[in-house]
Amino acid sequence: MTEKIKAGPFEVLCLTGARCLEDKTVVFVGTGLPMLASLFAQRTWAPNLSLIFEGGSLGPILWMGLPLSVGDIRAGTRACMVKGLCAVFEGQQRGWSDYAFIGGAEIDTYGNINSTCFGEYEKPKVRFPGSGGAGAMAANSDRIIAIMALEKRRFREKVYYITSLGFGDGEPDYRWKAGVHGRGPYRVVTDVAMFGFDVGNTNKMVLLEYHPTLSVEQVQERCELKLTISPDVKPMVLPTQEQLKLMVTEVDPERYFLGKTVEA
């Protein structure tokens, strides 16, 4: 009998992220965790999921394994088209992609995401890499799936800098006035909870699923922002041994993500 593989935070992130991806759709994949979850989805229930990577590839088959960059050769192999950044972002602006799949450093109640800085702009307390493609994806893919570990400092009422636009101030016409195309946030995936949004009403983040080892109150304690709880809130599905085995052997064998821990 082989030893059981433990479902740590990144294994849960991988599965939960992938669960948000429907087969036969187009997803614009950001760097980091979205690449992990998209590869897992493509290897399991979504073989007809078309991926777009901002380096310029459309519809690649990730046979070489986990790309380590959205411009990686691995993100372009067996693609239907490989061009450059302008080509895929303009396609996205035209309406190619159903989902933007992005990460970030912090997120607020309305799904606005910061990946630029904490503190002042000119001399920040903490400077992050910057938008990359996420700002463009959040603006113009039809809907946004965000993925990040749930840490108290990351889930705040207001973020320091809005890099990837969610619902703005929550007003129904905010995105219209912003001049962007997409409908906005759809899911926020974390290691211990999955959130949706009260779209068309308050546009606020709503708790849909929580990790079975935690209670709803414990999830709330892990967020600075005040959560709305869905009436249909339920425990999350955790990865099976078979799924974990696939993750460890094929999706991330070099362990760039898997097996790592998260500070609560």
Partner 1 sequence: MDLDKKFAEVGIPLGKKADEEKLPYVHVVEGQVPYKSKHRIPSGETANPKEGLHSDIYKISEIQQHYKERPYLWWGPNPDEARAIKTKENKFLYDKRMTQSEAVKKFIRPGINLGVAGFVNTRCPFSIVWTIVKEALCNKTIQATDMTLSFQSQSLCVEWLLGAMLLDDSRVSVKRVELAWQAFEVIGSGPMWTHCVQSGMIEVDDYTNYGMSVRFKAAYMGIPYVPVRDHGGADFEVTNRGVMTKCPFTGRNVYVLPACHPDVAIAHVTAADLYGNCRIFGQTLTCEEILGASTVGIVSCEELISNDAIRNYPNLTLIPFLSVHAVSPQKYGGYPGAVWGYHWFDMDFLREWRATGLELRKAGNMDPLKKYYDKYFYNCDTWEDFLAVIGYKRLAQARELERGQRVILD
For residue 143, the cross-strand partners are 99, 184
CA–chain centroid gap for 72, Å, is 19
Residues 98 and 25: their CA atoms lie apart, in Å, by 6
Q: How far is the CB of 154 from partner 1 (least distance, A)?
A: 15
Q: Name which position in 3, 4, 120, 200 contacts partner 1 (CB under 8 A).
A: 120
Query: Whole-angstrom distance between the N-terminal and C-terminal Cα of the chain?
Result: 33
- Determine whether 54 is an active site residue: yes
161 near partner 1 (CB under 8 A): yes
Q: Name which position in 10, 40, 89, 96 contacts partner 1 (CB under 8 A).
A: 89
Number of neighbouring beta carbons within 10 Å of residue 8: 17
CA–chain centroid gap for 260, Å, is 18
196 near partner 1 (CB under 8 A): no
Residues 87 and 1: their CA atoms lie apart, in Å, by 50
Q: Name which position in 47, 130, 212, 235 contacts partner 1 (CB under 8 A).
A: 130
Q: Name which position in 134, 193, 223, 251 contacts partner 1 (CB under 8 A).
A: 134
Q: How far is the CB of 230 from partner 1 (least distance, A)?
A: 25
* Token code pair at residue 262: 């998260």
Q: Name which position in 16, 57, 109, 203 contacts partner 1 (CB under 8 A).
A: 57
Q: Name which position in 124, 151, 237, 248 contacts partner 1 (CB under 8 A).
A: 124
Catalytic site residue from 3, 11, 22, 54:
54
Residue placing its CB nearer to partner 1 in the complex, 158 or 234 = 158
Residue placing its CB nearer to partner 1 in the complex, 86 or 235 = 86
> DSSP letters along 88-116, please?
HHHHHHHT--SEEEE--SEE-TT--EE-S
Secondary structure of residue 158 in the 3-state scheme: coil
Q: How far is the CB of 244 from partner 1 (least distance, A)?
A: 20
- Sign of torsion over alpha carbons 49, 55, 57, 62: negative
262 near partner 1 (CB under 8 A): no
Q: Name which position in 9, 17, 76, 196 contacts partner 1 (CB under 8 A).
A: 76
Residues 66 and 251: their CA atoms lie apart, in Å, by 6
158 near partner 1 (CB under 8 A): yes
Binding mask 13-52 for partner 1 (x = CB under 8 A): ------------------xx--------------------
φ, ψ dihedrals at 246, nearest 5°:
-60, -45
Secondary structure of residue 210 in the 3-state scheme: strand
Nearest Cα neighbor of 56 from 22, 20, 23, 80 is 80
The H or E element containing residue 117 is: strand 117-118
Query: Which residues contact partner 1 by CB under 8 A?
Result: 31-32, 53-57, 64, 68-73, 75-77, 82-86, 89-90, 93, 112, 116-117, 119-136, 138-140, 158-165, 168-169, 171, 174-181, 256-257
Please list the active-site residues: 54
